[in-house]
Structure 1
């Protein structure tokens, strides 16, 4: 079901005629309003979405796209993320960064890809509990718990718990844990390392980390999702990745509305408009044909 059908009121349990009024859409998007009907994934067939770019002599040059599992976001991205690149998802507390990254991983698992989620703050049991409340089945997601309360044997063998883990040690730990290739990996939050080292070392460490995933994939290219809790408009990580997706809250007419913006996407056109989104009981929903000023 395409997005315009969702806007026309087609739900998973049946259909209804007519286009909803603007006031109805506003009530759905406003933070804290009732949850609208679930919208199915744009890539329900489990296929990647190819995007044609500069043609060679045979006219067959393609960049392979992968769906985020969020229909409206795929529309904003002109077909999804470009496979094998590094992306940054940034936003404040409660903005849905973890939910968004997990939806990307779950969509990859649905396609039969190997996916991994590295948690540096939230313990695995708490993460599973929170995601199960959204109906997310994490059975095919390799969760690597390197949070402060983790007792992962490899982690314990290389650090002193009271000192925590720095970026270089983290890279070494992952190198030992990831014995098989992964197609998509998310690290949440990458910014916890920033206070532990000078900016130049942090920048170099992030670049080495991205190269690590690609080197260990036996020439396969991993899609890397870095998650940032920074509220700065522009940060170091923004310059080091191929794409940046920002989750914000903005005030519109005295109401607080969640808004998503694609700040950067190398090698691709994208929707530059700030669009409203909601966190529903099924995950994140994005409204790509509305601007924040319209809700």
Structure 2
């Protein structure tokens, strides 16, 4: 079996190479970054890669409406309409309604995954879900419960998280990094010699797999993300 067949490809040039071919099937990954680093773009490209490979994907959002997500993908020239409500489903949660959001995750998500045999699930952003809880202990308990619930499903899960406002190397609540198998950190880098700002990423964690530990530049293009795995950040 080839590396591509063994791995769940992100569909992002350069990043899959850094991940030794992609994510491990059935694993959990988190993309952590501050505003403007393209977390949602990474997540949607992960979804799109699955759809064009014939997989079913579920996108759970606490920020954007389904219409805005679809419109964003259309701007990328991705023909998403052919997949809507057949192999692509959006579950919109209300971050202001605690009980409704929690019940939707517990009661609606697992049957949806099973019914359509979903292979890819995105949660964007998990940090807003974490914000629903008042204490660190409640937050930790519910996230552990969420991860355990999905561990029993035959799908690969990708979450996005806002970085801590005081530490761009950590998620907002400094918790999701410990629960997932893979952590991809997105951040800005400004060289000492120049005022120009570059986007850069690193794979800071990947369980049960070799992976690149180098910091690599990336670019958000009109139709895709490119990670320049052969280049150095300067």
Which residue pairs with 2:76 in the alignment?
134
Deviates most, 196-205 or 127-136: 196-205
Out of 82, 89, 112, the residue aligned to residue 54 of structure 2 is 112
SS of 2:78's partner is: coil
The alignment of Structure 1 onto Structure 2 pairs a total of residues equal to: 218
Contact 1:261 1:274 in 2 (8 A): yes
Out of 198, 222, 225, the residue aligned to residue 158 of structure 2 is 225
Q: In the aligned structure 1, how far is the partner of 2:3 from the partner of 2:148?
A: 23
Larger C-alpha radius of gyration, 1 or 2?
1
TM-score scaled to structure 2, two decimals? 0.84
Which residue pairs with 1:245 in the alignment?
184
Q: In the aligned structure 2, how far is the partner of 1:80 from the partner of 1:177?
A: 25
Out of 169, 183, 195, the residue aligned to residue 254 of structure 1 is 195
Structure 1 residues 71 and 162: alpha-carbon distance in aligned structure 2, compared to 1, 3 A threshold: closer
Q: Which runs of 5+ in 1 are unaligned?
A: 1-46, 51-63, 149-160
CA-to-partner distance for each residue in 1:20-75, whole Å, 9 max, x for gaps? xxxxxxxxxxxxxxxxxxxxxxxxxxx8625xxxxxxxxxxxxx212111121111
Q: Which runs of 5+ in 2 are unaligned?
A: none
Out of 18, 21, 40, the residue aligned to residue 79 of structure 1 is 21
TM-score scaled to structure 1, two decimals? 0.68
Contact 1:77 1:271 in 2 (8 A): yes
Structure 1 residues 204 and 273: alpha-carbon distance in aligned structure 2, compared to 1, 3 A threshold: same
